[in-house]
Chain A
Amino acid sequence: MHYLLEPGLLASGPVRTALLTGAVVAIASGVIGVFAVTRGQSFAGHSLADVAAAGGAGAFLAGLNQFWGFLAAGIAAAGLMEAAGVQRRRGRDVATGVVLGAALGAAALFLYLGTLRTATTGAAFTVLFGSIFVIGPGTVPALVASGAVAVIAVCLLARVLLLASLSPDLARARGVNVRLVGALYLIALAISVSLAAVAIGAVLSTALLIGPAATALRVTRTPVRAMAGAAAIGLAATWLGIVLAYDSYYWPPRGHGWPVSFFVVALVLAGYLLSYARRPRRLAPRSPHEGAECSPA
């Protein structure tokens, strides 16, 4: 344990901030991710993440905190997706992929222009790969508040979302405004993606969204347990990632440290693979709208 918890870990302000925001991010991503996977909207999450990258870069250019950029771009993209009806992956990889390429191109431009303006070069890395150790204390309340809003909204909508995922017609016949519920969920998804982008970067955020959720879904059977499980797994991966990143300062090359996002992604993948040890591989073929298809960029 001594090797894990290096001296000064909890005394460090940035680490405490990272642990707190990491917790918010992990819980939000886990809870919301469960629905993303079951509704087959993982690709939507990935698309939002790429647009968020452009937003974060834009915020950097404008001199604002990256989180606002992620959030604004994510919510705008969610609205556009809702209007265009591209919520589900319907074999439109090419179209969305090409448009996302434009979003990433815009991110490249904003990063470049911002670097010219401010003469700092770290932005490319933090927008794409996270900045959990350099979150300003002023941003923390906003992060916690948006995370809370997103989680509460999804918890309130949980049953309706499940019903609508089972059968939209059934939900409509019961008087549910399926369109509104779907839109609200997309916005919650955008918030969760923005939070994850702050923590581990825009292009890596999908790992926290689908990884813990997919792991939890493999080992639980009820919605409440799945949401709780996903949150717990995400939390474990994030906190352990933060601790390891802090420890890695003492690993080669000394004095530099490894990025948190790398640890988190590696741990999430490890967690998913571990779930295979508990539950044998299903024999039945997966259904067409398997929600986990996605790849960054």
Chain B
Amino acid sequence: MFSGLMMNTWIAASVVAVVAGMTGFFAVLRGSTFAAHAIPNGAFAGAAGAGLLGINVLWGLAVFAVGGALGIGALGRKARHDVVTALTLVLMLGLGALFVSVSSQYAEETYSLLFGEVFGVSKGEVLPIAVLGAAAAAAIGLAFRPLMLTSALPEVADAGGVSTRRTEVYFLVVMALATSMTVPVVGALLMFSLMIGPAAAARAVTARPGVAMALSVAIALATVWLSIALSYRTNWPLGFFVGVAGAVFYLAAHVRGLSPAEPPGTVRRHRDMKRIAAVALLVLAAAGCGGAGGGAPPEPAPTAQAGFAGYEWSVVAIGHDGKRTPIPARYSVYLQFAPDGRFGANDPVNYHFGSYRRTGDGFTIGDIASSLVGYAGADPVTLLAIGAISAFGKGAHATATVAGDRLTVTAGGYTLTCRRDGAQADFPPPTPT
């Protein structure tokens, strides 16, 4: 669980949790829950757009998130409840859907952008996330007192020369940066849970600001660690655990009955919440136990191999000579099987193009041609990938097994573990004229 690839996730997620906890504390205090909904939507569109344009997703996230934050800041409080803003938010999601559907990355991209991805953090992204995180944390730390003042006593702040408006914009931009970091890990739709859930839970337990913020960070870390561990164990999506954990912590905190000034009639509500929290905890426990039964990540039952045709498959690991090496995403090693029999394969240096024919247990390669770029380097992963792809020569036979969104291909002494990318369109083409 703590191997190289996962280590990136642990580090990034921890940074994300700390920032989310700090930002969320203020978001709850200032009642900026609307912004916490709105900014991730814009971020989703930005990330999808970046994917479409082929630039780094973090850029798209940051630009759209910050732009959205500035836009919300400019609109002012009242306008946030307007129909225009509500519809614009939905439009952001719609734009994201458009970008995702129009680019070649389709289903996987939608899913991981919206719900998060345990393996979503490549080594190249850990550093920017850590830097962004440090910057956001520093920004909040430096502005702690003005933020507190403008949240609790805005008029006093204004009178004292601390501009509420500027602080609001400042805070929204920080939230946008936090969003840009969080979305790749947790997904746009679940970001609200991570940011607001722990903070709201912390606030329900204590009213002292320093303690509340620390508790909010602690709960966020607990949420993220628990979710990563359970997600790794069960292969279930990270977003599921984050969403459920957020709700459970929140309900549990409110059930303690320490929230200030509850209106009358809350006794029954607390009892209902206790029941809901209990059920949710049971579900989580069952999930953990059920999934974890067996220790190692369970192998989903193999299904017919016909499922590999018509898709593109990213190679995530290559086994050779008894050793299994993970292949990070930036190496861009993939296989393509078009429904009409065309075959494509990419290694870090060359692209190979030919035809394939399905067989009972896999496929056979027909003709194949490739670009002729030489490689003189010594990077072991590159060399391994080149070797593996070269196994798909003319006439080569490979076995292929599909299990869910995982494909295992064995050819020429290499075993490639692949993850599905791309999908069919969701509507039929018109009848050709």
Contacts and interface: CB of A to CB of B under 8 A. Distances in A.
Q: Do chains A and B touch in the complex (CB under 8 A)?
A: yes
Interface of A: 6-9, 11-12, 14, 42, 84, 93-95, 97-99, 101-106, 108-109, 111-113, 115-117, 119-122, 124-126, 128-129, 131, 133-134, 201, 203-204, 206-207, 210-211, 214, 245-246, 249, 253, 255-262, 265-266, 268-269, 272-273, 285-286, 290, 292-297
A87 to B, nearest CB: 15
A108 B243 contact: yes
Contact of A293 (B86, B91, B98, B190): B86
A34 to B, nearest CB: 13
B427 interface: yes
A297 B37 contact: yes
Nearest to A203: B93
A93 B195 CA distance: 14
A210 B188 contact: no
Contact of B189 (A104, A109, A115, A117): A104
B200 A98 contact: yes
A68 B69 CA distance: 38
Interface in B101-144: 101-102, 106-108, 110-111, 114-116
B88 A269 contact: yes
Q: Which of A95, A97, A112, A295 has the most CB of B within 10 A?
A: A295
B240 A297 contact: no
Contacts of A111: 111, 115, 237
Interface of B: 28, 33-34, 37-38, 40-41, 78, 80-91, 93-95, 97-98, 100-102, 106-108, 110-111, 114-116, 187-190, 192-193, 196-197, 200, 235-237, 239-244, 246-248, 250, 254, 269, 272, 280, 300, 303, 307, 311, 402-405, 420, 423-431, 433
Given A98-B200, A261-B94, A262-B97, A133 B404 contact: no
Given A104-B243, A119-B404, A98 B102 contact: no
A121 B423 contact: yes
Contacts of A84: 269, 272
Contact of B86 (A98, A105, A120, A206): A206
Contact of B87 (A121, A129, A268, A297): A268
Contacts of A204: 90, 93-94, 97
A214 B83 contact: yes
A266 B246 CA distance: 32
29 contacts: A7-B433, A8-B433, A84-B269, A94-B196, A95-B200, A97-B33, A98-B193, A98-B250, A101-B246, A104-B190, A105-B239, A105-B240, A109-B237, A109-B240, A112-B236, A122-B423, A124-B111, A210-B83, A253-B102, A259-B98, A259-B426, A268-B87, A269-B84, A292-B81, A292-B82, A295-B37, A295-B85, A296-B37, A296-B89
Contacts of B80: 293
A200 to B, nearest CB: 8
A108 B84 contact: no
Contacts of A104: 115, 189-190, 193, 239, 243
A11 B114 CA distance: 36
A221 to B, nearest CB: 18
Contacts of A134: 426-428
A293 to B, nearest CB: 4
Counting from the closest, the 4 A-B pairs by CB-CB distance are: A105-B243, A101-B193, A133-B427, A116-B404
Given A101-B247, A206-B90, A256 B34 contact: no
B56 to A, nearest CB: 21
B404 A105 contact: no
B110 A125 contact: yes
Given A98-B197, A98-B247, A265-B90, A6 B107 contact: no
Given A94-B28, A249-B430, A122 B244 contact: no
